[in-house]
C-alpha cells in the first residue's frame, strides 16, 4: 500500500493560491490520487481525484507529473472557510471496496489568515 | 437530507459499558465503511460492508467491537466493555460501485470516562 507524505501545516492569506504537495514514491500502476478536506468535528469531504496530468473541478486542481511520484493540490484564491485539514490518499479505485485500502496520514493543516 | 447520517453525534459513557452507534448511508450506496479517528490523526479503517456482507475487518477491530448491516441498508457498530482508549470519533462512509468517492457522515464522538 502506497504511503503518502505531506507537510504537517501550511499558512496562507485570503485571496492567495495555495499549493499542497504530496509525495507517494511507491504508487502502483492502478493507483489513483484522491484528496479529502476535513473541518473540525466533521467527516472528511471529497475534493478531487486524478490518475495523471491535470484534473480540475469547481473547487480545486490536481497536478500529477509524468512519474506520478508526487501530486499537488491547488486551491485558487483561498478564503477563511478553506481553513481545514487536507488529506492526500493513494489507492486503486477499481477493485471492490477500494476505500478500505486507503491509508490516511496526518494530513496538512491549512490555516488561512485574513 | 440525502447524505450519510450518524446517530448519536456525541456519546459519553462509563468505562465497562456497552455502546452502539448507527449509520444510515446514502440510500443507493451498497458499500459502507467504518473508521475511527483520534485527535490529530487521520481516519483509521475499521471495517467494510458490501451490501449486507462484512468483507473486511481491520486488526484494529478487537473482539469487543462488532458491526452489522443486516439488510444492506443501515449499519450499527457496537463496542462492548468500553475502555478509555476507545474514546475517539467514529466515522461512517458510503460509496457506490460506480463512484470511488466516499461520502462521510459527521461522525459519533465517543468519550469513555
Q: Do A49 and B48 touch (CB under 8 A)?
A: no
Q: Determine the Cα–Cα distance for residues A16 and B79; give it in Å rounded to an integer.
A: 45
The dihedral built from the CA positions of residue A96, A93, A82 and B42, taken in this order, carries a sign that is positive
Closest CA to B31 of B63, B4, B60: B4
Reading phi first (left if > 0) and then psi (alpha if -120 to 50, else beta), residue A53 is in left
Report H helices in chain A: none
Q: Do A106 and B95 touch (CB under 8 A)?
A: no
Q: Determine the Cα–Cα distance for residues A89 and A100; give it in Å rounded to an integer.
A: 11
The dihedral built from the CA positions of residue A61, A48, B60 and B13, taken in this order, carries a sign that is positive
Q: Which pLDDT tens digits describe chain B residue by residue (113 residues)? A: 579 999 999 999 999 999 999 999 999 899 999 999 999 999 998 999 999 999 888 887 889 999 999 988 999 999 999 999 999 999 999 988 776 788 999 999 999 99
Residue A35 in this model has a pLDDT that exceeds 90: yes
A34, A42, A46 member nearest B106 (Cβ): A42
The reply to whether omega before B8 is within 30° of 0 (cis) is yes
**B88 inside 8 A of chain A by CB:** no
Dihedral angle computed from the Cα positions of residues A46, B108, B39 and A105, in that order, rounded to the nearest 10 degrees:
-30
The mean pLDDT value of chain A amounts to 90
Grid coordinates in use for A68? 506520478
Amino acid at each position: 500500500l502506497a504511503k503518502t507524505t505531506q507537510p504537517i501545516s501550511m499558512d496562507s492569506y485570503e485571496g492567495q493560491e495555495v499549493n499542497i504537495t504530496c509525495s507517494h514514491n511507491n504508487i502502483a500502476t492502478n493507483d489513483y490520487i484522491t484528496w479529502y478536506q476535513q473541518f473540525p468535528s466533521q467527516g472528511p469531504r471529497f475534493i478531487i481525484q486524478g490518475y495523471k496530468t491535470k484534473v480540475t473541478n469547481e473547487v480545486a486542481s490536481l497536478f500529477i507529473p509524468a512519474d506520478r511520484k508526487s501530486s499537488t493540490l491547488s486551491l485558487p484564491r483561498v478564503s477563511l472557510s478553506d481553513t481545514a485539514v487536507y488529506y492526500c490518499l493513494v489507492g486503486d479505485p477499481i477493485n471492490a471496496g477500494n476505500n478500505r485500502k486507503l491509508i490516511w496520514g496526518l494530513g496538512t493543516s491549512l490555516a488561512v489568515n485574513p | 437530507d440525502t447524505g450519510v447520517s450518524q446517530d448519536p453525534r456525541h456519546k459519553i459513557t462509563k468505562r465497562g459499558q456497552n455502546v452502539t452507534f448507527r449509520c444510515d448511508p446514502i440510500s443507493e450506496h451498497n458499500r459502507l465503511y467504518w473508521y475511527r479517528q483520534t485527535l490529530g490523526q487521520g481516519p483509521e479503517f475499521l471495517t467494510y460492508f458490501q451490501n449486507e456482507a462484512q468483507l473486511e475487518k481491520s486488526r484494529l477491530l478487537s473482539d469487543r467491537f462488532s458491526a452489522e448491516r443486516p439488510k444492506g441498508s443501515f449499519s450499527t457498530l457496537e463496542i462492548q466493555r468500553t475502555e478509555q482508549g476507545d474514546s475517539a470519533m467514529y466515522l461512517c462512509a458510503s460509496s457506490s460501485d460506480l463512484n470511488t468517492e466516499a461520502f462521510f457522515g459527521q461522525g459519533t464522538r465517543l468519550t469513555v470516562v
